[in-house]
Structure 1
């Protein structure tokens, strides 16, 4: 396989899988310990922590699964980038605490990677590519 082929097939798939991993694990963790997440959300003073939990699970699991599949990838990546920035600023803004600073920087870096996915798309090993090819064949 030449470098160009790997860049257009394997690397986009790998980047989607790696970026999806944190969202899938985080969403599953929230399902496993909802009370802890509700308490953490409530501790920030945000209203409706139970709704926040449900929304976070939906975004993390739904977005993670869409990234893995490569379906609606650009829009999903934009939503997850925004989610990463907003949650980083809300939950990890105490940057005098080195642990919180690291978490904030992690969220910022994740948003950067997701913006790359939004800019360049899912790649050829994705449902976006497969469905796009079908649409092109139907209209031709």
Structure 2
């Protein structure tokens, strides 16, 4: 019988390598999800009347307030995600925002296009919940504060 033994130094090295890999994956996840929100927020700022009109068209109350909240969540939230600042809280807020958007704007599930958009939002929520669960990782302002 051949049993491989692992020295404490090798165990530390493997654990350290896994932690570094997880930190790179966390950074990549944040960098890949944030532009979606940043571009959406910037496009809202570029055409506020169109955005407010869309909010009005689905019957949501206080469309101007909704516009302001959407811009705030999308732009500040994406910047905070990129920096890894208060990441779990920010990702949770963005997940709730994305759920609200799915329910308000992509709720005609009989329309295949709306169905796809609805489930894209649900998938984005899944990614944000991974950030809520596992945090920003080492390469973040949150990670720097915990070192």
The two structures have a TM-score, normalised by structure 2, of 0.86
Determine which of 118, 128, 142 is the counterpart of 1:104.
118
Q: Which has more radius of gyration?
A: 2
1:60 and 2:74 correspond: yes
In the alignment, the residues of structure 1 paired with residue 101 and residue 21 of structure 2 have an alpha-carbon distance, to the nearest angstrom, of 31
- 1:9 alignment partner in structure 2: 23
CA apart distance, 1:48: 1.2
- 2:8 alignment partner in structure 1: none
Q: Which runs of 5+ in 2 are unaligned?
A: 1-13
1:26 and 2:26 correspond: no
SS of the equivalent of 2:108 reads coil
- 2:5 alignment partner in structure 1: none
Q: Which runs of 5+ in 1 are unaligned?
A: 134-140
Matches within 5 A, 1:1-140: 4-133=18-147
* Matched positions, count: 132
Give per-residue Cα distances to partners, 1:98-139, cap 9 Å, x unaligned. Answer: 111111101100000100010000010000011222xxxxxx
In the alignment, the residues of structure 2 paired with residue 102 and residue 92 of structure 1 have an alpha-carbon distance, to the nearest angstrom, of 9
CA apart distance, 1:97: 1.2
- Greater than 3 Å deviation, 4+ residue runs: none
CA apart distance, 1:86: 1.2
CA apart distance, 1:10: 1.2
